[in-house]
């Protein structure tokens, strides 16, 4: 089922975390934060919305890193219900696709809850003070990848954050599969 996150709550502070990554290390928010801003993405292996734009996510992450934006992706899905999102499968995917950012595993879903993540993909773009400035879409793609010349909403917004510390006033929310929460 498709889900859409709320609009950007400008100035909301990024919650700290410490999570294991597919590269064998453990990362905190401070480890990820870039000098010009930070992008935290909630993604997963199986979601068709993520699969459709994975190459664009990787492209934008590389381009944003060159602008001084720290980038990480977090998978928080219930892996009992969705075994293709297991930590082992995350490791395989990150290695195969040569992820240019840490791919973190939120097994107990506490970080996804702290961020109020709604869907995959869900993008949280922070300025250098770790204040939320972007909570929008990657581009106009949905379950299928759009044409290659689509406006790069995420990249353009985070470039603006890197340059000015502020995100765009007008943002179009991301859309994707709902986070697969564990049964209470």
CATH code that applies to domain 2-178: 3.40.30.10
For the chain, the residue count is 184
DSSP 83-101: GGGSHHHHHHHHHHTT-SS
Q: Is the pLDDT of residue 1 over 70?
A: no
**Which residue ranges make up each domain of the chain?**
2-178
Average pLDDT over residues 131-140: 97
CA 69-74-80 angle, to 5 degrees, is: 170
pTM of the predicted model over 0.95 = yes
Q: Which residue has the higher pLDDT, 6 or 37?
A: 37
What per-residue confidence (pLDDT) applies to 170? 95
How would you class 70 by CB atoms within 10 Å of its CB: exposed for 0-12, middle for 13-18, buried for 19 or more?
buried
Which of 125, 132, 115 has its CA nearest to residue 156?
125
Tell me the per-residue pLDDT of 62-98, one tens digit each, with 9 for 90 and over: 999 999 999 999 999 999 999 999 999 999 999 999 9
């Amino acid at each position: 089922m498709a889900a859409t996150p709320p609009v950007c709550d400008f100035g909301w502070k990024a919650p700290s975390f410490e999570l294991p990554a597919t590269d064998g290390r453990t990362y905190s928010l401070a480890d990820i934060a870039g000098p010009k801003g930070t992008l935290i993405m909630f993604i997963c292996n199986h979601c068709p919305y993520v699969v459709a734009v994975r190459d664009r996510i990787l492209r934008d992450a590389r381009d944003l890193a060159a602008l001084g934006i720290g980038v990480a992706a977090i998978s928080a899905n219930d892996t009992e219900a969705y075994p293709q999102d297991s930590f082992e499968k995350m490791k395989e995917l990150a290695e195969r696709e040569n992820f240019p950012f840490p791919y973190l595993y939120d097994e107990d879903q506490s970080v996804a809850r702290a961020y109020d993540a709604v869907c995959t993909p869900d993008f949280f773009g922070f300025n250098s003070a770790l204040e939320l400035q972007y909570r929008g879409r990657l581009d106009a793609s949905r379950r299928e990848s759009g044409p290659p010349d689509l406006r790069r909403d995420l990249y353009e917004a985070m470039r603006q954050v890197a340059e000015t510390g502020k995100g765009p006033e007008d943002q179009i929310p991301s859309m994707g599969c709902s986070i697969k929460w564990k049964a209470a």
